[in-house]
């Protein structure tokens, strides 16, 4: 078992944030070993795709150390909330309330990293006035994660209205020719709005990491400019 688990505790030094533990398809024994290793190092970890029934099977002493959220299917293990300063610089925009699990995965990941977010819910293009009513506020954010399923139109519309870094998160929300998110993915990839970044279907964790990388470099550039 020990040879199967090789954790990357040096990742923050290289890329600026911890390795996350993908819980899907791991055995209970593997997850317990991972948590044991994390505790031995005095570290914390972000656990993704952690189903409620798997969390319920954790040993009591490990379960007590997990801040668990069933909507995002994410757990913070042995985690202390980082100190954050200043207003939110990442907007998380979802087309509909059916996209809440994916939006929650984005927000929970960024919260773990210590990057505050502001959430905009149910402002998809089916009710365009709701989106247009928030454009002025959204133009203030340097980074935006745009989340949409169905026809995936939100990122294209928003991408033509705001200047910030735009990360598109297509979701599996929808039915029929939505093809479990394939239509939204293709719409984002084929968008005529220039400069959009696209992650995989339902990959809230990946979208959050892209947003955090962008924000880190924005902060670093601002810091260097102030030092000149």
What pLDDT is attached to residue 83? 73
Pairing label, strands 143-148, 165-170: parallel
Between CA 51 and CA 94 the distance in angstroms is 23
Q: Which of 80, 16, 15 is nearest to 44 (CA)?
A: 80
Average pLDDT over residues 188-206: 95
The strand pairing partners of 74, in sequence order, are 69
What pLDDT is attached to residue 11? 86
**pLDDT tens digits along 127-165:** 888 888 899 999 999 999 999 998 889 999 999 999 999
What are the strands of the beta sheet with 45-48, ordered from one edge? 20-22, 45-48, 74-77, 66-69
**pLDDT tens digits along 53-93:** 999 999 999 999 999 999 999 999 999 887 766 788 999 99
Query: Is 228 a residue whose pLDDT tops 70?
Result: no
**pLDDT tens digits along 175-195:** 998 899 999 999 999 999 999
**pLDDT tens digits along 92-128:** 999 888 899 999 999 999 999 999 999 999 888 888 8
């Amino acid at each position: 078992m020990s040879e199967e688990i090789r954790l990357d505790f040096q990742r923050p030094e290289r890329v600026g944030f911890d390795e996350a533990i993908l819980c899907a398809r791991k055995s209970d024994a593997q997850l317990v070993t991972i948590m044991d290793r994390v505790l031995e190092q005095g570290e914390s970890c972000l656990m993704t795709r952690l189903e409620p029934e798997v969390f319920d099977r954790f040993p009591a002493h490990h379960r007590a150390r997990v801040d668990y959220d069933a909507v995002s299917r994410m757990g913070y293990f042995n985690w202390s909330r980082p100190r954050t300063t200043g207003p939110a610089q990442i907007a998380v925009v979802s087309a509909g309330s059916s996209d809440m699990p994916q939006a929650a995965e984005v927000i929970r990941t960024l919260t773990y990293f210590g990057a505050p977010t502001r959430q905009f819910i149910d402002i998809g293009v089916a009710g365009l006035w709701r989106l247009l009513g928030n454009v002025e506020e959204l133009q203030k954010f340097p980074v935006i994660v745009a989340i949409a399923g169905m026809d995936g139109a939100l990122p294209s519309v928003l991408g033509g209205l705001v200047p910030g870094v735009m990360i598109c998160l297509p979701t599996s929300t929808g039915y029929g020719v939505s093809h479990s998110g394939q239509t939204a993915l293709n719409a984002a990839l084929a968008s005529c709005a220039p400069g959009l970044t696209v992650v995989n279907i339902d990959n809230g964790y990946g979208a959050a990491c892209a947003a955090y990388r962008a924000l880190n470099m924005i902060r670093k550039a601002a810091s260097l400019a102030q030092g000149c």
